[in-house]
Structures are given as structure tokens and as C-alpha cells.
Structure 1
């Protein structure tokens, strides 16, 4: 059984924003797999984008975390 994925959500259709973040990472030599990308979808009934990444520390999560609107439901703060 695989480990659970880390979930990030944003209101509205943010698929293009995820695509841009992946492209930015690729321009720095980070593949989609290395970025931690698993899957994304726009959930029409909920009117939100759901992004699944391999871990909370995944580069894609870090890339989007600082952008407005992205939340990580049920998560605890990162330990520093």
C-alpha cells in the first residue's frame, strides 16, 4: 500500500497555475516526478482545484505554498 498523498486546494480552476509552477520547476531542471506531482483536478461541484503531491515537502508544494489562495487542509505547521 502506498503512502497517502499531501493535498493542496485552491478555490476556482487553478490547473493553469499548477502547469505554470511545473514549467518553472522544469526550467530549473526539476521533472514532474521529482517535483512530487501526482495528480490534479478541478472539482466542478466544489468549484475548487485539488492537487495531490507525494509529500508536504515536495518542490511543487513549496512552489505553490507562497501563492495566494492555496491551502493545505488538516495540516499541521512545518517543524523548524
Structure 2
């Protein structure tokens, strides 16, 4: 069984911020595929952005963890 995707959430529409993070990684030589992006969506009814990465240690996860306003929900502590 494969590992579940790692989830980040942020209030409001933050799709452009995720695109900006991917652009920053690209400038450092990390491709979009190599960044670990699985899916990103703005959920209008909840007024929040949900970002799913391939793992908690992916390049995109590390990039987003350093940005204000992003939460990593879950019931287990992160062991990155």
C-alpha cells in the first residue's frame, strides 16, 4: 500500500503562492515533477487552499513549511 499524501491547508485562495513556490524551486533546478506536487486546489465553500505533496519531506513541502499561514493537519506528529 502506498503512503498517503502529505496535506497543507491555508485560508483563502493561495494557488498563486503555490505556483510562486514552484517557480522558486524551478530557479534552483527542481522540476515541477521533482518538487513532489500531487494536487493543489482552492475549495470555495471552505474558503481554503488544499495542497497535497507526495511526502512530508518533498522539496515543495519543505518550501511551503517555511511560509506563513500554512498548516499541516493530522493527528500524528511529523517526523521529517
Q: Tell me if TM exceeds 0.5.
A: yes
Q: Which residue of 1 aligns with 2:66?
A: 66
TM-score normalised by the chain length of structure 1: 0.91
More divergent stretch after superposition (69-78 vs 57-66):
69-78
Any idea what SS the aligned residue of 1:77 has? coil
Runs of 4+ aligned residues of structure 1 deviating over 3 Å after TM superposition are none
Unmatched runs of 5 consecutive residues or more in structure 1: none
User: Any idea what SS the aligned residue of 2:40 has?
Assistant: strand
Partner of 2:34: 34
| SS of equivalent residue, structure 1 residue 35 | coil
Q: CA deviation at 1:32?
A: 1.1
- Structure richer in helix, relative to its length: 1
**Post-superposition shift, 1:4?**
1.3
Return the TM-score normalized by structure 2.
0.91
| Residue pairs, 1:1-80, within 5 angstroms | 2-74=2-74, 75-78=76-79
- How many Å separate the matches in 1 of 2:4 and 2:33? 16
Structure 2 unaligned residues grouped into runs of 5+: none
